[in-house]
């Protein structure tokens, strides 16, 4: 992660070379390009005075303000990075501006941060120290929480299978999250190149049943609902197995009397590929059963280790359907919709519609907020009509918090302002159930 300041290179050839050698990513970005001397103002980032940063845009980016909490925009100490090179993030080297400073960082073990007495608001920071344990197994985290070794857990830490037990506990923090689970269709080949097949496969899934079973929210659109106030989110197709069968019959999978015939469907040309992490496999089995039950078609599941799946997906080498998910980088519908604005990146469907791209661009040019949302919603509707994906579920926070930990709330972006968190000794003020925001 590099902050914008670091994109500006020194004028002197020698110093520039030093920095480029130390930073391969930057080196990559400038190789083969003509370097012209630029001042900070030339790239639109400019320190007006000691306390003001001005960023200018060449294209409209109304969502930009929502990107500011992202780690891309943290202020960094330039001299530290120049001095330590890639070791600048090590404890002892790193210079930060937050309420806490890094004390130690041990991989697969823990990160310890301590209150920084030099912080401008240090007097109002209540915790002396926060220890983040870097745990890979959620079951281990649950044990630690139960044994009293942890005061809180991060999002997604309660395993689905445990929700029946943990869900009713007063420690359980569940709120919608700006993260979605969905399946990609390979629109470039096979039966799923036909939009009718894609729509049918989406329509024949009872997502509510899936959501109820796994204690999550069903997703019909490409953006999670309830996260972006005022956004006129379009709805995708509802659960309708009869219509699904009609669409498949139209697509040519029909018997003599014109009805859908599952035997005609080229089931061997469609697979569902998932990586075995988290809840992906139970989801896939549920969905496989739905297709079997509602269409009479058996789609086989192939389990693929994450990197292999990534590679297969981006090369569009998969047959039919592949599992993926996306977490918002910033709080704006555009973070999800922009996935399909180009063919690189996370768009592994092969679908790209210039009309869709144009709509997104038009939306971002719109000055009026409501107008922009409407244009984005139009784009989302277009996406849903083309159905290059099966939206499945919206993530929920699913975290745990001890009643005595205050100033700590479920958070759709998983960003917790630690400076406000504190331990309440007075048990009468403890939280029983989800805390009211603003306390």
Partner 1 sequence: MLRFIIRRVIVIIPMLLIVVSLTWTLVRLAPGSFYTGEKKLAPAVEKNLREKYGLDKPWYVQYGKVLKNIARFDFGNSLKYEGQSVNQILLRALPVSATLGITAYLIALLVGITMGALAALKPNSWLDYASMTLAMLGISIPNFVLGPLLVLLFSLTLFWFPPALWNGFPSKSLVLPALTLSAIYIAYIARLTRSGMLEVMRSDYIRTARAKGLSETQVVTRHALRGGLLPVVSFSGPALAFLITGTVVVERIFALPGLGNYFINACFNRDEPLIIGIVAFIAISVLVFNLLVDISYAFIDPRIRY
Least distance (Å) between residue 106 CB and partner 1: 6
Least distance (Å) between residue 65 CB and partner 1: 22
Could you say which residues in the range 113-142 bind partner 1, by CB under 8 A?
Answer: 133-137, 139-140
Least distance (Å) between residue 311 CB and partner 1: 4
Does 230 help bind partner 1 (rule: CB under 8 A)? no
What φ, ψ does residue 159 adopt, rounded to 5°?
A: -65, 145
Tokens encoding 362? 């038009």
Cβ closer to partner 1: 197 or 304?
A: 304
| Of positions 186, 312, 387, 393, contacts partner 1 by CB under 8 A | 312
| Of positions 15, 17, 35, 86, contacts partner 1 by CB under 8 A | 86
| Of positions 324, 335, 364, 399, contacts partner 1 by CB under 8 A | 324
Least distance (Å) between residue 178 CB and partner 1: 16
Integer CA distances (angstroms), 335 to 55, 61, 64, 383, in order: 20, 12, 11, 14
Q: Are 408 and 154 in contact (CB under 8 A)?
A: no
Size of the residue set binding partner 1 (CB under 8 A): 40
End-to-end CA distance of the chain: 34
Instruction: Please list, in sequence order, all residues whose beta carbon lies within 8 angstroms of the beta carbon of residue 333, skipping any fewer than 6 positions away.
Output: 223, 228, 231, 233, 373, 376, 380
Supply the DSSP symbol for 341: G
Which helix (H) or strand (E) is 144 found in, with range? helix 138-146
CA 335, 341, 343, 347 torsion: positive or negative?
positive
CA 295, 301, 139, 181 torsion: positive or negative?
negative
**DSSP-derived secondary structure for 266-321:** -GGG-EEEE--STTHHHHHHHHHHHHHHHH---PEEEE--HHHHHHHHHTT-SSEE
Does 306 help bind partner 1 (rule: CB under 8 A)? yes
Cβ closer to partner 1: 211 or 327?
A: 327
| Of positions 12, 14, 25, 168, contacts partner 1 by CB under 8 A | 25
Fill in the per-residue mask, 87 to 106: x = in contact with partner 1 (CB under 8 A), - = not in contact.
x-xx---------------x
**DSSP-derived secondary structure for 361-388:** HHHHH--SHHHHHHHHHHHHHHHHHH--
| Of positions 118, 147, 367, 437, contacts partner 1 by CB under 8 A | 147
Cβ closer to partner 1: 147 or 367?
A: 147
| Of positions 149, 255, 269, 285, contacts partner 1 by CB under 8 A | 149
Could you list the residues that contact partner 1 (CB under 8 A)? 24-25, 27-29, 31, 85-87, 89-90, 106-110, 133-137, 139-140, 143-144, 146-147, 149, 305-308, 310-312, 314, 324, 344-346
């Amino acid at each position: 992660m590099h902050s914008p300041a670091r994109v500006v290179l020194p004028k002197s050839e020698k110093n520039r070379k030093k920095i480029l050698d130390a930073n391969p990513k930057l080196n990559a970005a400038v190789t083969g390009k003509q370097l012209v001397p630029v001042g900070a103002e030339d790239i639109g980032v400019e320190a007006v005075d000691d306390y003001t940063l001005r960023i200018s845009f060449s294209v409209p980016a109304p969502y930009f303000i929502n990107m500011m909490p992202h780690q891309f925009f943290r202020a960094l100490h330039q001299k530290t990075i120049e001095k330590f090179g890639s070791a600048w993030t090590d404890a002892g080297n790193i210079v930060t501006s937050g309420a806490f400073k890094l004390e130690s960082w041990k991989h697969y073990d823990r990160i310890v941060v301590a209150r920084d007495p030099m912080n401008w608001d240090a007097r109002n920071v209540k915790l002396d120290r926060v220890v983040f344990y870097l745990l890979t197994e959620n079951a281990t985290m649950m044990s630690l929480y139960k044994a009293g070794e942890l005061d809180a857990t991060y999002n997604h830490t309660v395993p689905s299978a445990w929700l029946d037990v943990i869900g009713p506990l007063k420690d359980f923090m569940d709120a919608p999250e700006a993260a979605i689970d969905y399946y990609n269709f390979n629109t470039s080949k096979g039966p799923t190149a036909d939009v009718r097949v894609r729509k049918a496969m989406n329509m024949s899934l009872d997502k509510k049943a899936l959501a109820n079973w796994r204690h999550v929210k069903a997703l019909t659109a490409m953006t999670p609902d309830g996260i972006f106030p005022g956004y006129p989110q379009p709805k995708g197709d509802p659960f309708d197995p009869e219509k699904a069968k009609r669409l498949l019959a139209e697509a040519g999978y029909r018997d003599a009397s014109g009805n859908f015939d599952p035997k005609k469907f080229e089931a061997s040309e469609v697979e569902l590929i998932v990586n075995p992490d988290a809840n992906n496999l139970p989801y896939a089995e549920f969905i496989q059963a739905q297709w079997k039950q509602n269409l009479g078609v058996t789609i086989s599941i192939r389990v693929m280790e994450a990197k292999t799946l990534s590679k297969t997906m981006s090369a569009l080498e998969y047959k039919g359907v592949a599992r993926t998910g996306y977490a918002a980088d910033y709080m704006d519908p555009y973070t999800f919709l922009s996935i399909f604005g180009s063919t690189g990146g996370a768009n592994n469907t092969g679908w790209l519609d210039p009309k869709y791209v144009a709509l997104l661009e038009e939306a971002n040019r719109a000055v009026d907020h409501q107008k922009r949302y409407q244009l984005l919603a139009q784009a989302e509707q277009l996406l849903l009509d083309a159905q290059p994906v099966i939206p499945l579920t919206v993530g929920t926070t699913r975290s745990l918090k001890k009643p005595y930990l205050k100033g700590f709330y479920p958070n759709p972006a998983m960003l917790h302002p630690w400076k406000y968190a504190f331990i309440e000794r007075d048990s009468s003020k403890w939280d029983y159930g989800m805390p009211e925001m603003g306390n």
